[in-house]
């Protein structure tokens, strides 16, 4: 075991749990406090927290590992799409969905369409967010095994239970403020290693030239064009269709604050991929592709090579920050999906808020346990696993949520057809291996769009009060009421 790194990680994990304990009393006051932090988060705190929720292990380990193993074009595609996530979300949904006053994405579907659509959405959220935890837990295991010198399984369990504990105790309050700290640490740590790489190689141009000399394939287009297009679509839409990201809008003080938060997050996210570009180039110069059991570990090799142990330990904390800040938001989405959307929404509608919150706490631990079991034998590269989740969510939720905001004629039958048709098409394409890697949403998302539009037009329009709500969500009337 490497003592310095272990001490830093232990202190860091203890500090995050301490924040969860600190906010636990406030979070338990009401369901609004637990799921949306009392709708009281400002632009800067919300923006950094939103960035941290989106910048998962995929954005760090996955982007670097995928870039080195699949080539620079893959990394650039990933980076451009991820950087555009937040401006895209601002345009399509941020302000409008905040004005609906809901707490979760399934609750929005229930309010906009019907109870049945909301229930199906809640089930999809629980399944996809549980799988989305797997790449985060996989990264936890790799860190523990490679850097701390402990068993992969032990690392997955220890770190997995660590972020589950503070998320369960403090809800959105704890998650927001731990994500604020984690986001700042993440960007600061990556800035340090990127600067060291820049100086060591006399700038990015020399770095890329050296990388191509070691690995000429680093600059090649290694995948089918559909893979690049598919992963671009999956990540571009992530801020619109990821329940854990969308929930951040509900925690903002107002629609205006939700939009500003997204722009703050976009600035932070763009910096991450600039730094990741440098790390991928440095990783390619190592020439270790094909020698590693998991190519995502290249990220850790770069840290070990370029930084002294104490600084490496700090950067390791930034990587753990990426894991925790995304996984905790996923856990909250799963917890809300089961306890708030399914249990209180359909099973026991008169359940007390404290009962719902306590059930949510239990659900978090069960979801973490399920994610840990899958992560013990991960199904692929971190970036690819996240691409699958993004593709599934886009195929099921993309057009039902966007058309629900922008098209008054969209109705429950159309939303159900689009959600199920797109989701099932995605599953069939993934299981049958019919297309290039991560290209499934290129087919599945348009299927969802066509089904939703056609079925909506062939069936009864939504009630007049629903159509009025759609119009109202595009005005600032509710913003003035909240001031």
- CATH at residue 231: 1.20.1730.10
438, part of any domain: no
State mean pLDDT over 436-457.
88
pLDDT digits (tens, 9 = 90+) for 20-70: 788 877 877 777 788 788 788 888 988 888 887 777 666 667 678 777 877
CB of 184 within 8 A of CB of 55?
no
| pLDDT value for 483 | 45
| pLDDT value for 76 | 82
Residue 126 has pLDDT above 80, yes or no: yes
| pLDDT value for 479 | 55
67, part of any domain: yes
146, part of any domain: yes
443, part of any domain: no
State mean pLDDT over 401-407.
93
425, part of any domain: no
96, part of any domain: yes
Residue 293 has pLDDT above 70, yes or no: no
| pLDDT value for 317 | 67
Q: CA torsion angle for 371, 102, 411, 425 (degrees, to 10)?
A: -10
| pLDDT value for 262 | 84
- Domain of 192? 3-386
Residue 377 has pLDDT above 90, yes or no: no
**Rounded to whole angstroms, how far apart are CA atoms 197 and 33?**
43
Which alpha helices (H) appear in 28-145, and where do they start and end? 31-36, 43-54, 57, 63-70, 72-89, 95-99, 105-112, 115-143
Residue 480 has pLDDT above 70, yes or no: no
For the chain, give the mean pLDDT: 81
Residue 252 phi/psi, 5-degree rounding, is: -70, 155
Count of domains in the chain?
A: 1
| pLDDT value for 5 | 67
420, part of any domain: no
Cβ-based neighbours of 79, under 8 Å, separated by 6 or more: 63, 273, 276, 277
434, part of any domain: no
State mean pLDDT over 2-11.
72
Classify residue 443 by its DSSP letter. H
Residue 408 phi/psi, 5-degree rounding, is: -65, -25
Residue 128 has pLDDT above 60, yes or no: yes
Residue 116 has pLDDT above 90, yes or no: yes
Residue 229 has pLDDT above 50, yes or no: yes
Bigger pLDDT: 97 or 432?
97
Q: How confident is the model at residue 481 (pLDDT cuts 50, 70, 90)?
A: very low
pLDDT digits (tens, 9 = 90+) for 299-314: 878 887 888 877 777 6
Residue 396 has pLDDT above 50, yes or no: yes
| pLDDT value for 463 | 93
């Amino acid at each position: 075991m490497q003592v310095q790194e272990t001490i830093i990680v232990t202190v860091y994990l203890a500090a995050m749990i301490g924040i969860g304990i600190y906010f636990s009393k406030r979070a338990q006051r009401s369901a609004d406090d637990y799921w949306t932090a009392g709708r009281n988060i400002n632009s800067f705190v919300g923006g950094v927290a939103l960035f941290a929720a989106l910048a998962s292990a995929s954005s760090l380990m996955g982007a670097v590992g995928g870039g080195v193993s699949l080539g620079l074009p893959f990394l650039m595609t990933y980076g451009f799409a991820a950087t555009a996530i937040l401006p895209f979300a601002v345009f399509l949904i941020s302000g409008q969905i905040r004005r609906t006053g809901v707490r979760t994405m399934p609750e929005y579907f229930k309010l906009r369409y019907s109870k049945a659509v909301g229930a199906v959405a809640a089930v999809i959220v629980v399944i996809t967010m549980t799988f989305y935890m797997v790449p985060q837990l996989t990264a936890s295991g790799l860190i523990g095994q490679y850097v701390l010198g402990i068993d992969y399984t032990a690392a997955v369990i220890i770190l997995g239970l660590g972020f589950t504990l503070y998320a369960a105790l403090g809800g959105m309050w704890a998650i927001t403020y731990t994500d604020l700290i984690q986001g700042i640490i993440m960007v600061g740590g990556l800035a340090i290693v990127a600067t060291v790489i820049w100086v060591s190689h006399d700038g990015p141009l020399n770095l890329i030239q050296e990388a191509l000399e070691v690995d000429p394939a680093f600059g090649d287009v290694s995948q089918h064009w559909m893979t690049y297009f598919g992963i671009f679509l999956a990540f571009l839409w992530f801020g619109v269709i990821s329940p854990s990201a969308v929930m951040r809008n509900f925690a903002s003080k107002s629609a205006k604050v939700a939009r500003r938060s997204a722009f703050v997050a976009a600035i932070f996210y763009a910096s991450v991929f600039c730094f990741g570009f440098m790390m991928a180039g440095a990783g390619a110069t190592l020439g270790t592709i094909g020698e590693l059991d998991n190519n995502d570990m290249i990220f850790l090799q770069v840290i070990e090579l370029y930084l002294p142990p104490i600084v490496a330990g700090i950067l390791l904390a930034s990587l753990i920050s990426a894991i925790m800040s995304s996984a905790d938001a996923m856990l909250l989405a799963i917890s809300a999906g089961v306890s708030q959307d399914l249990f209180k929404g359909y099973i026991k509608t008169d359940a007390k808020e404290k009962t719902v919150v306590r059930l949510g706490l239990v659900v978090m631990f069960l979801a973490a346990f399920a994610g840990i079991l899958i992560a013990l034998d991960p199904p692929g590269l971190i970036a690819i696993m996240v691409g699958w989740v993004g593709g599934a969510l886009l195929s099921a939720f993309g057009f039902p949520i966007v058309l629900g905001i922008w098209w008054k004629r969209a109705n429950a039958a159309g939303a159900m057809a689009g959600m199920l048709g797109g989701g099932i098409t995605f599953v069939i394409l993934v299981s049958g291996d019919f297309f290039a890697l991560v290209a499934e949403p290129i087919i599945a998302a348009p299927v969802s769009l066509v089904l939703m539009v056609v079925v909506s037009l062939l069936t009864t329009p939504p009630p007049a009060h629903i159509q009025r709500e759609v119009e109202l969500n595009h005005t600032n009337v509710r913003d003035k009421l909240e001031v």
